[in-house]
Structure 1
Amino acid sequence: MSDQRAYTLTGPDGRSYSSPVKGTWGGHRGNRIYGRMDCPAALRAIAKGVYVKNRVFFVDESTAIVAGYRPCWSCCRDKYQAWKAAKGKDESCRKDL
């Protein structure tokens, strides 16, 4: 009998895979948001039972970003503000085209 636990993580391509390593970041598949495992907003949603079926996990933050997820406003405000500012710059560049 194996004591090795397998965790289901989301890779940079957005696909799930089995890993012996526990994810360090969580996310919501539908909203494409990632955040800390102790995020107060995510924990409230989980307690209500509305978040669990769309919950995903990432081995690290860079994997979440490459997979197309954005930072959570609640637990990653600095990163969210930087993402929002970069998004605004991208949209203003598109208007010039």
Structure 2
Amino acid sequence: MGQCYRFICTKCKCEIEAPSGSDSGFEYATKPMRCTSCGNLFDQLIATNDGKGYKPVEHPDPCPRCGSDALEKWEHKTRICPRCGGMMKRGELLYLWD
């Protein structure tokens, strides 16, 4: 079951919704990605489950904001703000998904 949290930057107060790391539900798996072109943080679909197991997505989607393929995995352990580079503090659990 996937989990989504609120993260708040201690420096610029930027707020984002993101998982604490790679997540999976019954039908698909995602990982948090940061666009190096526009700074957008989003969950990228990385695998789908056809009932027999997860299969990797052949062509992962680009950034939904600017369309760039210049992406890097957002490291939940370091929690670097995608806007200013400050430290993100994990807040409350927002929702669960399958």
TM-score, normalisation: structure 1: 0.28
The higher radius of gyration belongs to: 1
The structure richer in strand per residue is 2
TM-score, normalisation: structure 2: 0.28
The structure richer in helix per residue is 1
